[in-house]
Amino acid sequence: MASRGISRGSRNCRSDIRKAGLYCLMLRAQPLARPIRILQLVQGLEIGGLEQMVITLVERLDPVRFKPAVCCFDVLGALVVQLTAKDIPVDFLPRKPGLDLSYPLRLARFLRRKKIDILHLHNPTALFYGTLAGRIARTPAIIYTEHGRDFSSSWKVKLANRWLSALVNEVVAVAERGKTYLTSEEGFDSSRIKLIYNGIDADKFNSWVCHDKRREMLATLGLKPDDPIVGVVARLDPIKNHASLLKAMVTVSQRVPGAMLLVIGDGPLRLELEQQAQELRLGETVKFLGARSDVPELLSILDVFVLPSYNEGLSLTLIEACAVGKPIVATDVGGNSEVVEHGINGLLVPSDNPHALAKAITHILADKEATRRMGQIARERFEKYFTADAMVASYELLYDGCFSRGK
């Protein structure tokens, strides 16, 4: 596999993964007096990449050494059922709209009552409330993970975040771009930021790599076996910029006869995007499939996966496309370049450029050998960097270190 696009930080991450695996094996041989109580603080558990990462993490932690729980502060969300079905506690401790200065005190009481050993915060709002609450409650350790964001903080928020970063025990970025942002824009100490890539469950995608059920799935969608299939999996939200992809598909459909676009996901822009597709006279070229539970199966029938976002942290849908062995066309934003090596397992294009997007999609669809080769390398890249096992092992190592130092 080619590795030209791997940064030194990524190589260090790979080394940390190996160390984590060995360290965790050693720790499993040393029984604890009780499991380490870890609380994940998140806005909610609606369908999204951050939320799915949290669920994967808490579901796969070693139950002998860790006792995970989740607390939501804005909404519970549809994904809660995945955790409650596995007897993982999920609490809803709502905050008031806007700046709720009483919330850190209420959250601190909750932390003391639950006797939390490690408080794991996800993204800026959790950093603000969770760090204050954790220090009030004297929680032994606080960890902050930056997943990426689609906004720039005001100077007041940047100043507050820099101060808060000094009060947490560990800072994690899910991509090198995120680490760079925290250092250059928020003033975090770069030496304190660890890189841990998001990971997904390989078992959910392995069968769709090994067993081709393309014809059966195509038939259920009313597609022909020789139709070139383009697909996107993303919430129908402005930040994902589906509008750019729809514009690109006008050109793609002209240059590649029979080309189809599957739009997988739902969200507030669905009616607007469906209307745009009609105005562009795409007709049956685009199929809006809504939110689906069979994403691995749908990914398996694609010829190319596209992510046209304005911004990303470390996209789980890109990783899923790699897991199923699909070539990718993505905008060169956020952590996308850490999943997609340009010309190796896909193509990167400028953000909000339908012409460049159409050109890249057409290029991949026109070269079957390149498509096969890119897909194979994508799968190898997934196995090397982005499995759930690798992610969980790294966080377990981090948790163990924080707990040992906090005792």
DSSP 64: T
239 lies in some domain = yes
Residue 117 tokens, joined: 């050993």
| Average pLDDT for 131-139 | 98
Whether 251 and 318 share a structural domain? yes
Give the pLDDT score at 156: 85
Q: Mean pLDDT score of the chain, rounded to an integer?
A: 90
Question: Do 20 and 57 share a structural domain?
Answer: yes
| pTM summary value | 0.84
Compare 23 and 85 and report the one with higher pLDDT: 85
Q: Is residue 2 part of a domain?
A: no
pLDDT, average across residues 7-15: 54
* 150 pLDDT more than 80: no
Structural domain count, the chain = 2
pLDDT of residue 232: 98
| CATH number reported for the structural domain that contains residue 130 in this entry | 3.40.50.2000
pLDDT digits (tens, 9 = 90+) for 261-286: 999 999 999 999 999 999 999 989 99
Per-residue pLDDT band at 13 (split at 50, 70, 90): low
| pLDDT range class, residue 2, cuts 50, 70, 90 | very low
* pLDDT at residue 264 in the model: 97
C-alpha 246/C-alpha 75 separation (Å) is 32
Strand order in the sheet with 193-195: 90-92, 66-72, 36-42, 118-122, 141-146, 170-173, 193-195
Pairing of strands 36-42, 229-233: unpaired
Residues 76 and 135 in one domain: yes
Domain encompassing residue 128: 8-199+387-406
What percentage of the chain exceeds 70 in pLDDT? 89
* pLDDT value, residue 1: 36
User: In percent, how much of the chain has pLDDT > 90?
Assistant: 74
Residue 3: inside a domain, yes or no?
no
**Integer Cα distance of 228 and 67 in angstroms:** 47
Half-sphere exposure of 372 (CA within 13 A, CB side): 2
Same domain, 227 and 349: yes
